[in-house]
Structure 1
Amino acid sequence: MFRPGIPLPGSDAGREQPRPVEDAAAPTAAERVRTLVESSVSAALDIPSIRSQQDTPPGSGSPEARAVTPDGDVVLLVPAASPAAQLVEHAAGDEVTAVMEITDVAPVAVPHRIRGRAWIAGWLTPVRNKQRAACARLVADRHPAGPMPSDPAWTLLRLEVGEAFVDDLWGAEQVEPDDFAAAAPDPLAPHEAELLQHLAASHSEQMRGLCGLLGDREAACAAAGGCAVPLSVDRYGMRVRFCGLEGFRSDAYFDARFEFPDPVDGIARLRQAMRLLFETAAERPGSQ
């Protein structure tokens, strides 16, 4: 049976994202960073030595694609002519420190669309010889629709992770390199954007029906003319943002987290969990 929705604190345009206030099944900080690193969301590569020498702004070496090796290093596909690639190529064994910032933006229209950021700090080196073929396969497997690593216009760099940090819907936490290497990305991450867009476009009434699982906030939610937007989904559950609630300004909102009975490991299990969630909400007294 589903645990009722966990209402999270309200917020407005001048405050932070709502964060969980009750214990809930959640991905670890290392898993959240790993998921963002291996996703296709935007990232910017900041190399302090480039900025100091060439007055180049952060992000000038932004990677086109990313993957993680079994040892926990991050492989980056960058333009061969980029400042980052040129600097690393001519570093002659010197350490090139870098920070990669990843920004996670919700794929649906919702107040406060930035769901979180992650930072990976470490050292860049070129990927050469036998390592190149293995790293190229990792990148191609993770981003099959992206540029081919074998194209001479692109080159591969390796970012050895020294430390990581995430600040997202779950909170702000530091991640150790060993924990990052041992973590696995969320199995739903490659499909999340499409899933959320489908729920928002084709299941708006069922999403609003989740008001029936909100306990003390059910009446205000049901009486309002606002909307219920699916903000995120992972193997443990779904987070929904309820907007335009009665008694609040039109730009105010609150979030609720709906946990699945068991973690899901793929699309088929997710469909079953979502169907059960909607059926549970529809069976509540007063639902239509």
Structure 2
Amino acid sequence: MDDQTRRPTAAERARTLAYGVADGVLAAPGVPYAPVTAHITDEHGVPLLLMPAASPIAAALAGAGDDLTATLRLSDVAPVALPDRVRGRAWLHGWVSRLPEDEIRGAALTLSRLHPRPELLDLAAGDGDWTILAMDVAQIEVEDAWGSATLEPEEYALALPDPFVAIEAGILSHLDSAHRGELRGLLAGLPCAARATSVRPLGLDRHGLWLRCELPDGEAGAAAGEPLDLRVAFAEPVRDLAGLRCVYRRLFGAAVPRP
């Protein structure tokens, strides 16, 4: 199988980062950076951003008219407690605007599916302390382990986020707490596996699993304080949790568990 078919495309990576799990900060010219309280994208990748109504970005938008030039900065942080946990970044450039009043309730319900926060209940009931902004995306940049890319909005909108983005944190936490020996066994035969002080899960997508190998001081990469990240590619893309369980059974069955 060609290597390009065993990895997510740049557009899929951007859609996954924008989905709503990654940490978000909204930046606009002349306005202090505003951490995004919660965010999610709709089926077309349009970001919906929960923000305090009294935030500087909301005030600037009120004075700007219909919309405001802004950038949504996203940081993908590994759910497992590791050094250097940032796995990737994305920048969505475009314009933010307030949602019309008749769309607020539906947007609050959409956000609540991923972020069941009390602020959304208040907002849906007409509370004035919070607002939801929508972003019209004009250009996208993504940078991660596969490199960097700049995307047009059309290819971004047509892509889909990874099917495991919303449950990746739970899966990786389980692998880290219960299957470290099996994870080390996946690297059997590689010199780094025998030397590594630990092998821990770093990332998961439908094409494969990223593992973080911590090496002793003086080893390649470790001298500079840099761990070694390795990729375990699946034989074919996985579509759902049942398929993922089958892949894990095959991988772990063939691996030699190591302490």
Same-fold call, TM cutoff 0.5:
yes
CA distance in 2, matches of 1:102, 1:145: 20
Alignment deviations for residues 180-203 of structure 1 (CA, whole Å, 9 cap, x no partner): 211211111111111112111211
State the Cα distance separating 1:25 from its structure 2 match: 0.9
Task: Indicate yes or no: 2:13 matched with 1:32.
Answer: yes
CA contact (8 A) 1:75 1:158 kept: yes
- From the superposition, tell whether residues 145 and 260 of structure 1 become closer, same or farther in structure 2 (CA, over 3 Å): farther
Match of 2:237 among 263, 273, 282: 263
* Corresponding residue for residue 105 of structure 1: 77
CA distance in 2, matches of 1:146, 1:138: 14
Match of 1:189 among 151, 165, 189: 165
- Share of identical aligned residues, percent? 35
Match of 2:94 among 103, 112, 122: 122
TM-score norm. by structure 1 comes to 0.79
- In the TM superposition, 1:215-234 aligns within 5 A as 218=190, 220-234=191-205
* Corresponding residue for residue 246 of structure 2: 272
* Corresponding residue for residue 27 of structure 2: 46
TM-score norm. by structure 2 comes to 0.87
Task: Indicate yes or no: 2:209 matched with 1:238.
Answer: yes
**1:81 aligned counterpart, secondary structure:** coil
Task: Indicate yes or no: 2:63 matched with 1:90.
Answer: yes
State the Cα distance separating 1:86 from its structure 2 match: 1.8
Q: Higher relative contact order at CA 8 Å, sep ≥6: structure 1 or structure 2?
A: 1
- From the superposition, tell whether residues 226 and 169 of structure 1 become closer, same or farther in structure 2 (CA, over 3 Å): same
CA contact (8 A) 1:38 1:142 kept: no
Alignment deviations for residues 113-146 of structure 1 (CA, whole Å, 9 cap, x no partner): 2111100111111101333233223222232346
CA distance in 1, matches of 2:118, 2:230: 35
Alignment deviations for residues 147-186 of structure 1 (CA, whole Å, 9 cap, x no partner): 3142432101111101010011111001111112112111
CA contact (8 A) 1:236 1:264 kept: yes
**1:108 aligned counterpart, secondary structure:** coil
- From the superposition, tell whether residues 182 and 142 of structure 1 become closer, same or farther in structure 2 (CA, over 3 Å): farther
Determine which structure has the larger strand proportion and give its number. 2
Q: Which runs of 5+ in 2 are unaligned?
A: none
CA distance in 2, matches of 1:72, 1:247: 42
CA contact (8 A) 1:237 1:259 kept: yes
Q: Which runs of 5+ in 1 are unaligned?
A: 4-21, 51-55
* Corresponding residue for residue 154 of structure 2: 178
**1:189 aligned counterpart, secondary structure:** coil
**1:282 aligned counterpart, secondary structure:** coil
CA contact (8 A) 1:238 1:259 kept: yes
**1:181 aligned counterpart, secondary structure:** helix
Alignment deviations for residues 43-75 of structure 1 (CA, whole Å, 9 cap, x no partner): 11111132xxxxx3x2xx222122223444221
**1:273 aligned counterpart, secondary structure:** helix
